[in-house]
Structures are given as C-alpha cells and as structure tokens.
Structure 1
C-alpha cells in the first residue's frame, strides 16, 4: 500500500527583505501588520473582522491580538537582522562584533586600567613597608603598593614626581627629602577612571609599627575605563599603518598597539595592558629647524611624544617600537642640553633569522630619543540656573557627567596629546541629566585662564580631576 503526498507551496503576504544601495530595506510596522491581516483572512475567511466602521484596529478580539503579536515578532526579527548587518560596518560595530573586526587588524580592546599615585610614607628610619601594603584616600578608594621588593623608610631619599621619575634640581641632581620617608607607587585595587587629587591619599589601611603617615604630593595618574566604541574605532583606524614602516603613522600605530603583562592584586596575570595611553608622532623633513606646536624640531628628524604609565619601566619596549618603524638614518631630536622631558634609551638589534638565531654575533646598538608628555590639568567652570526640580545632588551629578565625558566613558573620544578641547563638548552630557539641567555658561581653561576652548601642545596630555570642575547654581 502506498500513499502519495502532494507538496503544496505555502503562500504568505509577508514579503521577503531586500537589500538596496543603502543596505537592508525594512518595511514599516503598519505594512507588516496589513500583510499578517491578509494572511489571517486567507486562512479563516474574508468575513473575519479586524477593524470597526471607523477603521480602528480591534485589539480586543482574538484575531486582533494574534495579528499584532505576529507583526511585532516579525518586526523585531527584521530589526535584529538589520542590527547585525550594520555590525559589519566599522563605523557602527560595537561590543563583540567590533572586537571581531579589531582582531582582523590584530588589535584587542583595551581593558580598564587602574589609577596610580606616588605616596610619601613617613615614619621611623628602617621601617619596612611590604609589597601589597594597602592605603585609602579620603573618598574611600583602596590602593595597594606595587613593586618587586619591600621598601624601607630612610633619610635623604630621592623625591619622585607623579610619573615616578626623579625630581631634578637646576644642576640635574636628584632632589632629596629632608625627613625620614620613602616614596612608593600605589595602584587602586579597582580599575577605572578614579581620580586621586594631591593630598587626598592620607589613610593607612593597615598598621605597620614605625609607619606614621602617608600623603601624595602630586595628583595621581588617573586610570581608564574599558575602551569605548568610539575610542576603539579611532585606534583601529590609526592601527591600519602598523604593518608599514618609514612613516609617522606606522610609528604611531606600533606605539598604540604595544602591550605588556602584569599581575593584579589577586595574583592573576592580566594580558594586553597598553604601554602607551597615547602617542603623538610628527616629523621635520626640512634642512632647517622647524617649530611645530611650540616644540622645536631639528632638521631631518622625527618627534615622538608618549603618555605612558609606570614611568621608565617600559622604556625598552617604547624605544624598540620606535626603532622598528622609523626610517634609517633619521634624527631623533637629540640636542644638548637635553630638552625638557626628553628620554634617551640604548637598545640592541635583537633580530633573529627563521631558525631563531641572532643575526649578529656583536649586535649593533642605537640611541632612541623620545619625550614623555607633560600632564596639563584642565579646569571647567559651569554656571547653571537653579530649577525647582533639581535633585539634591545636582552639583555632583553635573560633575560626574562632565568627568565621564572627558574620560570617554559616555562613548566619546577622550582628549589626546596635541588636541583642542571645546567647551561645547560638555553641553550634551549635562543636558542629558534632565530638564532641570539648564546651563547659563560653560567655560574651559588651563593655567588659570578660561574660554571656549583649550589648546594642548604636542608635548602635553590633558587631565581632568573632579576637584577642577566648578559648578555654581544661580538663583
């Protein structure tokens, strides 16, 4: 006994999606609903009513409920498909899809980094402060000391700046403290853009006999949040030159993609930590000295400025990144006496053949000079109209919004070395707080001045602390 089954083509009024010159074309939700209604009528008869005499949809009926539900499901599917279609475009990609595009260029999204601050620990001579000693700032943030070995409080110890570099006098000799103390670098136990202004790191979280006090004479080096969509895309665009050589773009890309590993406070190894938070590379191809952005460049030379955490601890990696990409025989702006913040590193050519053998029995050495960016504190002055609906913590909310926007936490691009920062950049983050956030004036400045914009030199990197944001409400 055999049976024959006929294959009937299933018909539907819901049309397939199409692709046009601008991408996927999505039908309107009302159009999808009309298609579904026609399918219902074909299935259950033309007498099935979906609208009243005024052509209003009868949502209270079973068929009305089902038709609108099916139309909504189809519309959601279409939007999800359109979302993923757009994710293949680097201009719109985000999250996991953007990470995938980044891996095509062999780059990874930068993870959040922790704030670092140099603390001056005072007390009795020969007091030992172990690695991992914890301290707390006045905002309740916890920090722990980093390094390979314990440190000992002593007299006449060198004084360090916020980058953990020696402070030098007019004769280039290290400045020493006149009291019994030691300078230790502390790192916040939580990652993110957590500020630590000068003289705010004051509490000893654990007691060590002989250790009497702690303070930070300089602002801490603010950490960063996980790289945002806009920041990652900007770095991806810059990194396309990473496979090239003999150009300023290739040096920039190599520096921004250089990473290292470190061990966190739980003993876990964190990979892909960026060495340079930012970099600026330019050149002078002329046969005479040339001033670019207030910096004098020597003839036929390149200029490299970096913002790097940890002071000189990654100097070899930075110098080799420059050496791998710079043109042969190009000058490095090495003049005597040395220019402010210039740093010269001696490296060796450790190139190897395909079998891993060194190309040289006596490797040649090179002197690579680059510059560390000077941190420039930015001040923001905001005058607002007081609204009856303003919350009690309105001032704090405004400060948080501006600080988050400056750090790139709202998806914007963080101000970089050599950039121009406009006061208008911070209007939108404040206005998004609500209708009560009415701005009268918003000015930005540096070095005590204020205006509509701030220009940062090619040897400077802007920094913002919440204590430098002034918010006043006018009645």
Structure 2
C-alpha cells in the first residue's frame, strides 16, 4: 500500500511504497524486510519512469537491497532498544542499567569452592571427586583430598539469573518475610544459591525433606562467608523467631543503639553437595564417533552449568538435556535420558531436598549405545 508522508518543516509531500513500522498493543512491530524490498523496488521503478527492470542484479536492484538492509538494521536496533527497557527481555548493558536502579551489579564469575577451599580460577571449573591433591608442602599439612565432587563455580551471571535476582532484590528492601530474607542472603558476596522457608506452627514439621523446629526460620545457602550470611539473616529476620540450622555464628548487631552492642547467635544450613547421576542412551550406528562418551559428557555438563533448575531444593528434568545431546550431530539419536540421585537412575525427574545443592561430573554420566 502506497503511503503519503508530509514534511513538518515544509509544504512538500512525498509518497512511498515502503511500509512503515507500527506501535500496537503488542509493542513495536517492524515490517518484514521482504516487504521493505518490494516497496523500495516500486519506488525505484516509479522514479525511473515506470519501465525500469526490478531485477536485483540491476543497479537499481542493488540500491534497493542496500536501502532495505540499512532500514532493516535500523529497525532491529530500535527493537533492541525497546526490549532493553523491559526487565523480562533486557540483556547486556541495558539490563545492567535496570539493575543499577535497584543498586545491583551483575555478579562476576565465581570460583569452585567447598568449606574453606576455593579455586583460584573463576568460572564453571569442574571439581570431580578425588581431583584435589596437595600441590605445595605446608608445615603440619600432610594431604588434601575431596571424596565427593565439589560445587562448580559459575560464569558471569547470565541474563535470566540476573533478572531473577533483581526481582528478588525488590523484596529485600522489606523486613520480616521470606522474600526479604531470600533477597538479602542472595545479595551476599560469594553466595550462588539460597533457599528460605519457615515453620510457623507450634509443632515440628518436615518440609522438603528437612525437619524444622517449631516457630523457626530455615535458611540454606551455598557460597559466601559465614559471618556475612549470618549478618544478612539477622538484619532481615523478625524478632523472637527461632532458627533451624547446623551452622551457628555469633553476630554483633551493627544497628544496635545499646551501650554494649547486642550479640546474637544466628543459625543456618550449608547446602550439601549432592551428586546427580544421568544415563544417556543413544541409537547405535556406524556414524557414532569413537569419542561419543567424551562428547556426550561435555555437552551434558555444559547444559547442567546453565540449568536454572539445578538449585537448592530444585527439580531437575531429563528433558532439559535432550537438545544439548542432539546438537552434537545427526549421529546423536537420543533414545532416552534418565537421571536421579542414585547411581543407577531410572527417573525422568530428580527432586532435591531443601538442604541439597546438585553437582555433576563426568563420572556420574553414563553413555549407553542401544
């Protein structure tokens, strides 16, 4: 459809067959580049007297394609800008800007760690069972080992993880309810995961596989220094509430106005690294490479590192790993994937208790050719 456009600074008017973008209830809608090209060719033809060839190999065809590419790119940039102000779609620098409104900065890559030990290299560094050994002799230290796999570190906080933490940070401005505690604990430096719940009854209750004392607060956390985690809890918990937790830290209330600063014992739970086992069954064929086990394990571990369900108390789904394995090539014909917390997994889902944080290593991934 031909459009008539009038200049605001003059009385001249022009027409074009190039469709314009629209703003609808669904947002900014750019015309298809194929429609832009059709309109540009029509404009070229009209400008040349109406008898010009519209073949793309002609000079006018080449000009029309260049115009289309430039206009299409401009619309793409406009769409990226509009999406950038929406917290659900923002990424990169635009998402950082939204985070700044909440005084949040994106978390950088973290190191693999357990207890008082941490990897000096940041990122998703694997820590398989038995892989840690004494590198340099230290007086009084005869050896180091890790009987179980450590919790992997993480790459720089991604778009989805950052938005989830930003949303949680809104609740962190309050006090006394679970969302505030969760947001405050997750904001502690080094914390990679947290789970917060409570038992508001007068009886002991088992929730998510954990026994909670009456009228108690339960916080399970992975990463961060004990003192920092305890202080974050103290600042947000309601007064008079008991704790359920195996780690207890004595904290001095920094906001106390008493002549002698008040000290409190704060208890919480450190998440237990829990191995997740997986069996990947593939169809056997002559095209399956000799490196099939290494390839599948690498693909699964990469997918596990970005699985947003792989959290404290989370539910893991076997279906989340199909695409990663299938992407290895046409030879990767997935017959089935099972996973669980048992070395011989048979389930399609794996439910972790709310004191467990999942781990995975190459040794817990079995590859079977059926």
Q: Structure 1 length normalisation: TM-score? A: 0.70
Q: Give 1 or 2: higher helix fraction.
A: 2
Whether the 8 Å contact between 2:182 and 2:194 is mirrored in structure 1 is yes
Counterpart residue number, 1:267: none
Q: Following TM superposition, by how much is the alpha carbon of 1:69 offset from its aligned partner in structure 2, in angstroms? A: 2.0
After superposition, what is the alpha-carbon deviation per residue over 1:193-243, rounded to whole angstroms, capped at 9, x for unaligned? Answer: 121223223584x7x699998552333342111122222222222222010
Q: Following TM superposition, by how much is the alpha carbon of 1:415 offset from its aligned partner in structure 2, in angstroms? A: 0.9
Q: Within the alignment, does 1:438 sit opposite 2:353 as a pair?
A: no
CA distance in 2, matches of 1:102, 1:302: 29
Counterpart residue number, 1:220: 150
Counterpart residue number, 1:27: 31
Moved more, 67-76 or 277-286: 67-76
Q: Following TM superposition, by how much is the alpha carbon of 1:406 offset from its aligned partner in structure 2, in angstroms? A: 1.0
CA distance in 2, matches of 1:300, 1:438: 52
SS at match of 1:220: coil
**Alignment of structure 1 residues 85-100 onto 2, 5 Å:** 85-100=82-97
Q: Within the alignment, does 1:39 sit opposite 2:36 as a pair?
A: no
Match of 2:81 among 81, 84, 88: 84
Aligned residue pairs: how many?
A: 359
Q: Following TM superposition, by how much is the alpha carbon of 1:30 offset from its aligned partner in structure 2, in angstroms? A: 2.4
Whether the 8 Å contact between 1:199 and 1:217 is mirrored in structure 2 is yes
1:317–1:211 distance in 2 versus 1, CA, 3 Å: closer
Whether the 8 Å contact between 1:199 and 1:215 is mirrored in structure 2 is no
**Alignment of structure 1 residues 249-260 onto 2, 5 Å:** 249-259=179-189
Whether the 8 Å contact between 2:309 and 2:315 is mirrored in structure 1 is no
Counterpart residue number, 2:3: none
CA distance in 1, matches of 2:176, 2:80: 39
After superposition, what is the alpha-carbon deviation per residue over 1:420-445, rounded to whole angstroms, capped at 9, x for unaligned? Answer: 11111111211122222111121101
Counterpart residue number, 1:106: 103
Match of 1:346 among 220, 238, 250: 250
Counterpart residue number, 1:366: 264
SS at match of 1:70: helix
Unaligned runs of 5+ in 2: 1-8
SS at match of 1:107: coil
Whether the 8 Å contact between 1:384 and 1:437 is mirrored in structure 2 is yes
Q: Within the alignment, does 1:332 sit opposite 2:260 as a pair?
A: no
SS at match of 2:171: coil
C-alpha RMSD of the superposition:
2.4
Q: Following TM superposition, by how much is the alpha carbon of 1:8 offset from its aligned partner in structure 2, in angstroms? A: 6.4
CA distance in 1, matches of 2:41, 2:214: 76
Whether the 8 Å contact between 2:150 and 2:273 is mirrored in structure 1 is no
CA distance in 2, matches of 1:468, 1:258: 31
Counterpart residue number, 1:466: 362
Moved more, 34-43 or 222-231: 34-43
1:330–1:188 distance in 2 versus 1, CA, 3 Å: closer
1:435–1:211 distance in 2 versus 1, CA, 3 Å: farther
SS at match of 2:363: helix
Counterpart residue number, 2:204: 289
1:73–1:455 distance in 2 versus 1, CA, 3 Å: same
Whether the 8 Å contact between 2:310 and 2:358 is mirrored in structure 1 is yes
1:232–1:209 distance in 2 versus 1, CA, 3 Å: closer
CA distance in 2, matches of 1:436, 1:85: 41
CA distance in 2, matches of 1:258, 1:242: 12
Q: Following TM superposition, by how much is the alpha carbon of 1:378 offset from its aligned partner in structure 2, in angstroms? A: 0.8
Match of 2:305 among 392, 396, 407: 407
CA distance in 1, matches of 2:75, 2:335: 44
Counterpart residue number, 2:163: 233
Q: Following TM superposition, by how much is the alpha carbon of 1:381 offset from its aligned partner in structure 2, in angstroms? A: 1.0
CA distance in 1, matches of 2:302, 2:21: 40
Whether the 8 Å contact between 2:107 and 2:156 is mirrored in structure 1 is yes
Counterpart residue number, 1:72: 69
Counterpart residue number, 1:59: 56
Counterpart residue number, 2:320: 425
Counterpart residue number, 2:293: 395
1:221–1:418 distance in 2 versus 1, CA, 3 Å: closer
Counterpart residue number, 2:229: 318
Whether the 8 Å contact between 2:309 and 2:316 is mirrored in structure 1 is no
Q: Following TM superposition, by how much is the alpha carbon of 1:392 offset from its aligned partner in structure 2, in angstroms? A: 4.1
CA distance in 2, matches of 1:385, 1:419: 30
Whether the 8 Å contact between 2:279 and 2:367 is mirrored in structure 1 is yes
Q: Within the alignment, does 1:302 sit opposite 2:217 as a pair?
A: yes
Whether the 8 Å contact between 1:231 and 1:414 is mirrored in structure 2 is no
CA distance in 2, matches of 1:380, 1:392: 20
Whether the 8 Å contact between 1:202 and 1:213 is mirrored in structure 2 is no
Match of 2:121 among 182, 186, 190: 190
Task: Decide which structure has the larger Cα Rg and report it.
Answer: 1
Unaligned runs of 5+ in 1: 1-5, 51-57, 117-161, 165-184, 260-273, 334-340, 352-357
